[in-house]
Amino acid sequence: MRKLGLIGGIGPESTIPYYHDILYGVQERVGRAYFPPMVIDSLSCFEVMPMASAGKREELAAYLLGSIRNVAAAGADFAAMACNTAHLVFDELERESPIPLVSIVDVTRDRAVAQGYRKVGLLGSIGTMTGGFFEKSFSKTGIAIVTPRAEEQSYIEHKLLSEVELGKILPATQEGFRKITERMAREDGIEAVILGCTEIPLIFAGMKSPVPVLDTMRIHIAALVDEIMK
Amino acid sequence: MRKLGLIGGIGPESTIPYYHDILYGVQERVGRAYFPPMVIDSLSCFEVMPMASAGKREELAAYLLGSIRNVAAAGADFAAMACNTAHLVFDELERESPIPLVSIVDVTRDRAVAQGYRKVGLLGSIGTMTGGFFEKSFSKTGIAIVTPRAEEQSYIEHKLLSEVELGKILPATQEGFRKITERMAREDGIEAVILGCTEIPLIFAGMKSPVPVLDTMRIHIAALVDEIMK
């Protein structure tokens, strides 16, 4: 059993299901009343998202690396960031990290490959949609990534920061996200959509998506349970 | 702003509201979109409760101290344990801890004093009800602690470990806890009841308590928000 160090708080609304579902996921695999050791260092999405949107890579990497060092100091054998946006600087972090990291982008790509997709949409923060790190990971396998239009990207980022990161899920916002996805399916021919922000599944939970979803948080959690069990 | 190190997982069902309500509690005090740094080291209630019930103080203190050292290494300025039972060895931990600890027992006692109670009931794990640490803290202020009968204590411990720690809240169990509290009010004259396990408020949430409650988790969370803001 390996100890996970989770970089959380980016935001807390997704850190909670990560924590809960990883513990109970391991318990189910172990088959008895048991919770694995785990450490969460909680940062703030209100630091990460603006840095990512502004492309402040060094500042962002330093902020996240501090947290990775914290969980390593607390005995974590490996680490993961409960946030897609933070993966903008994943390569830098992987070079400097004292412990191995499990990328939410790479495990989502592996799932997309397994499901045979060739062209998928990407919804996330501005940092995620413009950062190119999903494209870089996915292009290795020939899968094309389609991002929303600029004005749609602004709408998504605004809703994430002003509502979803604060735990608010509004029906009008759900309809807004559905329409963007539908347009991408119609105009761009996406076969599936990546919910590329760990808060976006909260929006999609209560609505019917026009195309199948790749829920990065669920895919990441399953991969982390596997890593803990190794 | 001071960084809290929370010793969690004992159990996760209470660690989650601790985490959520502390972050949003600080945000409310700060008055803007902000989350404070915080670290959670997650242990297992399935280790702590049997050690406490069996009175294995040294083993329990070593297990908890390891976690306190983990959060200190991860940059915590002070620590707290999200579990009453773990406070059985609070004095030992306070002597060895590299950082200050905020006791759930002492902050609950201060609240009981402020509310003018003279005799209060105590519901918790076997380790909490028989450990004498609530009595020790409360007796300094002249407040008497009444614990349930032996067979009631066994019932409570069993329900905590077999249902509540796993996230199950059953109506029959709520009625069982209500009856015990009612009997203590009638026979022992308790003026209030201490929900002396951070999972017990989950049981009391859906029912009418026969006497006012001292919700140790809520009182602890409020005290921790105060400490973070210092």
Beta-carbon separation of A40 and B45 below 8 A:
no
State the best of A42, A69, A161, A202 to mutate against chain B, taking most chain B CBs within 10 Å.
A42
Q: CA nearest A72 in B: which residue?
A: B74
> N- to C-terminal Cα distance for chain A?
6
- The tens-digit pLDDT sequence of chain A (230 residues) is 999 999 999 989 899 999 999 999 999 999 998 999 999 999 999 999 899 989 999 999 999 999 999 999 999 999 999 999 999 999 999 999 999 999 999 999 999 999 999 999 999 999 999 999 999 999 999 999 999 999 999 999 999 888 887 788 999 999 999 999 999 999 999 999 999 998 898 899 888 999 999 999 999 999 999 999 99
Beta-carbon separation of B44 and A34 below 8 A:
yes
Rounded to 5, what percent of chain B is helix, strand, coil? 60, 15, 30
Strands B213-215 and A144-146, how do they pair? Answer: unpaired
> What's the pLDDT at B165?
74
Domains, in order of start, for chain A: 4-103+218-229 (3.40.50.1860), 105-215 (3.40.50.1860)
pLDDT, tens only, A94-123: 999 999 999 999 999 999 999 999 999 999
Window B:116-175, CB contacts with A under 8 Å: 161, 165-167
Q: Please report residues of A whose CB lies closer than 8 A to that of B34.
A: 44, 46
In this structure, what token pair is assigned to residue B50? 């049997």
**Reading across the β-sheet that carries A119-123, which strands appear in turn?**
A144-146, A119-123, A192-195, A213-215
- The tens-digit pLDDT sequence of chain B (230 residues) is 999 999 999 989 899 999 999 999 999 999 998 999 999 999 999 999 899 989 999 999 999 999 999 999 999 999 999 999 999 999 999 999 999 999 999 999 999 999 999 999 999 999 999 999 999 999 999 999 999 999 999 999 999 888 887 788 999 999 999 999 999 999 999 999 999 998 898 899 988 999 999 999 999 999 999 999 99
Interface predicted TM-score (ipTM) of this complex, two decimals? 0.93
B39 touching chain A per CB within 8 A = yes
